[in-house]
Structure 1
């Protein structure tokens, strides 16, 4: 197991470099100049702009800029934002916890409700509640998140007045409850469908008939034998879904005025602050890689037949 983890950690290095390089190149390819945008509409001296670009290292070849960025990243230096002259690490430290909090709420909602609905429908396939679940999940999958967000705002904030239309306190569970539901709804639909399909298939498996023939209690049959085997594809989806929730939070945060990563990325793209976007994206890539490793290790917990040499 230790060798497997060490090998996977080493494999993460080229994946991380390739992902951040791709994002870095895309930001470099965007039209516009962040230094020129800093000048606004006022008259400026081209030589002053060139001096600023030289001081910031923006006149260097793209490969050298990326190498300097990686060198600073290894030392914990994400760079400095051009417009505000604030360290990007400070911007991330303010925005990232908000998005992490929102993502965790949405992930908890997805796991509890999604798996719960999937289990209820999967134990009775082709029943009324099974068809109802499939219809509900189809609606959630078909509806864009911004449409669902505005509908939630209209009914719960303006009509029922149960909550505020926008988030007033990013640390309040009550304020983040509605955005978390909107953020996790699409994932909930997929989790419920995966759980339902997996359980319906495993109900017809030979080991289930053997467990019933042995006279085992129904709770043990469902909770130990059926659930552990049925959750393997669900865990696979949930592992990568954490990163999807963090990136999907960009739209949700804009709808509910959450001052998180989405707001920081939007502001950075508006001012073409490539270093800020790459810094936030680097952390999201790390989250993807670590959750992928965690999912692989959870396979051995769910299925004892899986062992890592």
Structure 2
């Protein structure tokens, strides 16, 4: 197991470099000048812009800029915002906890409700509740998150004043519940359908008939034999979905005025702040890689037959 983990950690290095390089090149290939955007509509001297670009290292070849960025990143330096001259690490430290809280609530909602609905439907396939779940999840899959967000905002905040329409305090858990539900809606549909399909398929497996024939208690048959084998594809999806929830928060945070990573990326794109976007994206890549490794290690916990040499 230790050798497998070490090998996976080494494999993450080229993956991280390749991912961040692609993001870096895409951001700096976009039209516009962050220094010019910083000056707004006011008159400017081209020599001042050129001097500022040289000061920030934006006049260097693109690969040299990436190497400088990567060298600083190894030392924990994510760069500096051009507009505010604030370290990007401080920006991430300010907005990332908000997105983390929102993602945790969304992930918990997806895991508990999605798996629960999938189990209920999968244990009784081709019944009324099974068809009802498939219909509900199909609606959620077909509905864009911004449509669902505005719909729930209109219903629960304006028609029935149960919650506030926007998040006014990022530390208030109750104000983050509605954005978390909207953020989790698409993932919830996929998890419920995937759990339902996996359980319905494993119910017909030979090992399940053997467990029943041996006279094992139904609770043990479902809780140990059925669930542990059925959750392997679900765990795979949930591990990847952690990163998707964080990146998907851009739309949700905009609807509910949440001051998290998504809102910061949106503002950085408007200002052509490539360093901010790349810095946040680099952290997202690390989260994806860590989640992927944890999911692979969980396979051996769920299925004892899986071992890593």
* TM-score (normalizing by structure 1): 0.99
Hey, what does 1:273 align to over in structure 2? 273
How many residue pairs end up in the alignment? 309
Runs of 4 or more, structure 1, over 2 Å off, are none
Instruction: Please tell me the root mean square deviation across aligned C-alpha atoms, in Å.
Output: 0.6
d(CA) in 2 for partners of 1:42 and 1:154? 40
Hey, what does 1:3 align to over in structure 2? 3
Gapped regions of structure 1 (runs ≥ 5): none
Hey, what does 1:291 align to over in structure 2? 291
Hey, what does 1:223 align to over in structure 2? 223
d(CA) in 2 for partners of 1:308 and 1:276? 38
Compute the displacement of 1:46 (Å): 1.1
Hey, what does 2:25 align to over in structure 1? 25
Gapped regions of structure 2 (runs ≥ 5): none
Hey, what does 2:52 align to over in structure 1? 52
Hey, what does 1:70 align to over in structure 2? 70
Hey, what does 2:121 align to over in structure 1? 121
Compute the displacement of 1:250 (Å): 0.4
Compute the displacement of 1:50 (Å): 0.7
Matched, 1:190 2:190: yes
Compute the displacement of 1:142 (Å): 0.3
Hey, what does 1:202 align to over in structure 2? 202
Compute the displacement of 1:43 (Å): 1.8
1:277-300 CA distance string (max 9 Å, x none)? 000000000000000000000000
Matched, 1:250 2:250: yes
Hey, what does 2:100 align to over in structure 1? 100
Matched, 1:172 2:179: no
Could you say what secondary structure the match of 2:204 adopts? coil
Compute the displacement of 1:13 (Å): 0.4
d(CA) in 2 for partners of 1:189 and 1:41? 46
d(CA) in 1 for partners of 2:170 and 2:267? 18
Matched, 1:143 2:146: no
1:23-42 CA distance string (max 9 Å, x none)? 00011111011111122222
Hey, what does 2:13 align to over in structure 1? 13
1:234-264 CA distance string (max 9 Å, x none)? 0000000000000100000000000000110
